[in-house]
Amino acid sequence: MLRLLARLTAPVLAAATLSMAVPVAAAERPTVVLVHGAWADGSNWETVIPYLHRAGLKVVAVQNPMSSLEADVANVNRVVNDQGGDVLLVGHSYGGVVISEAGNNEHVKGLVYVAAFAPGSNQSVNSILSGFPPPVWFPMLHADAAGWVTWPAEAMATYFSAGLPAELQAVLASTQHPTFHGVNDAAIGATPAWTNHPTTYVVATEDQIIPAPLQQHFAGAMNATVVPVEGGHLVMLAQPEAVANAIIAAAGG
C-alpha cells in the first residue's frame, strides 16, 4: 500500500516542486525601471511594456520632472530605492544621461541605453555635442519665457518622431513634456555608471536626433552589447518587440 501511495504521489510532488521553482527564479530577475528622455514621459514605453510583462518581468516607468538633471536623477533614485531589490535601468535619449548617474545606485545591476546619450566622466549633453556642428533642427525648437523648450508639431514629425504614423506623431506633439533648457548643460559625476555595470546599447539606425554613428561611438566606449534596430529616434514606439527583446536579454532572458 505504501509503495502504491508513493507511486501515486510522486508525480504530484514533482509538479508542485516545479511550480514552486518558477516564481523563485522569476523573483531573482531585476525590476526593469524605464527612464524616458526629453519631451517625453513614461508613456513613451507603453508599447514595450506588454512584451516585458509577458516575459515575466516587473516594470516601472518613471515620470521625471525634466526641470534639471539633479531633479531627474533624484527621482530615478527614489524609484530604484522603492523596488526593494535589484534593478535594470533603461534610458532613452536624454534618459541615458540620467541613468549614467543614477545607475551608481547600489541596487542597479545593469544598464540598457536606447538611442541614448552616454556621457563620460564629468560630461554633459552639450559638452558631447560641442565638437559637432549644431543640428539642423536646433533652431526650430521653441522656448517660452521661462526657458521651457518644446517642439513645433511639424518639426517634431520631421526629426524627433520620424517614421511613425502621422496620427501618432500628432498625439506626441500635443502631449510632449516641456523640458527645461538647462538640463543639457548639467554634467554627470566623475564615475559614469556604465563603467561598473554590464551594458546593452540599442542603436536606432535611422535616428535624426542622435545619429547612429554617434550611438555606435557611445556603445564602443562602454564596451556594450550592441543591438541594431531599424527605426528613428523613437525606436521603442516603431519597433517595440525588438527593443523589448534587448531589455529581456539584459534582464537575464
What's the mean per-residue pLDDT of the chain? 91
Position 208 scores a pLDDT of 97
What's residue 181's pLDDT? 95
Res 121: pLDDT: 98
Residue 253: the pLDDT is 76
Is the residue at 14 inside a domain? no
Write down the pLDDT at residue 28: 83
Domain tally for the chain?
A: 1
Residue 4 domain flag: no
The CB-side HSE value for 109 (13 A sphere, CA atoms) comes to: 14
- The predicted model scores a pTM of 0.89
Residue-range definition of the domain harbouring residue 57: 29-250
Please list, in sequence order, all residues whose beta carbon lies within 8 angstroms of the beta carbon of residue 163, skipping any fewer than 6 positions away: 206, 231, 232, 234, 238
CATH number at residue 96: 3.40.50.1820
Residue 26, pLDDT score: 53
User: What mean pLDDT is predicted for residues 113-136?
Assistant: 96
Q: What percent of the chain has pLDDT over 90?
A: 88
d(CA 72, CA 63): 9
Residue 222 has pLDDT above 80, yes or no: yes
